[in-house]
Amino acid sequence: MTFFALLTKEMRLHLRRERTIWIMVVYLLMMGMLGWLFLNNSSNASANANGPGISAIGVNLYTILSQLQLLLIILISPSFTATAINGEKERQTYDMLLCSRLSPRSLILGKLSAGLIHTLLLIAAAIPLFSLVFFFGGIGPDQIASDIVIYIVTALWLSMVGILCSIIFIRPAISTAIAYIVSLLWVVLPFLLTLILLTSTNGYQFFQLYPDRSRLIFIWNPVVALINTYPTSSQNGNPLFYILSLGYSGQTGHIPFMLGSLRLPYWIAYAIICICATTVCFLASVMLARPRLGTRRERRDTTTNTTTDTATDKANATA
Number of other residues whose CB lies within 10 A of the CB of residue 145: 11
**pLDDT tens figures, 90-118:** 888 887 877 777 888 888 998 898 889 88
* Residue 28 pLDDT > 80: yes
> What was the pLDDT predicted at 246?
47
**Taking the domains of the chain in order of start, what are their residue ranges?**
3-291
Nearest to 151, CA basis, from 128, 119, 182, 125 = 119
**pLDDT tens figures, 174-187:** 999 999 999 999 99
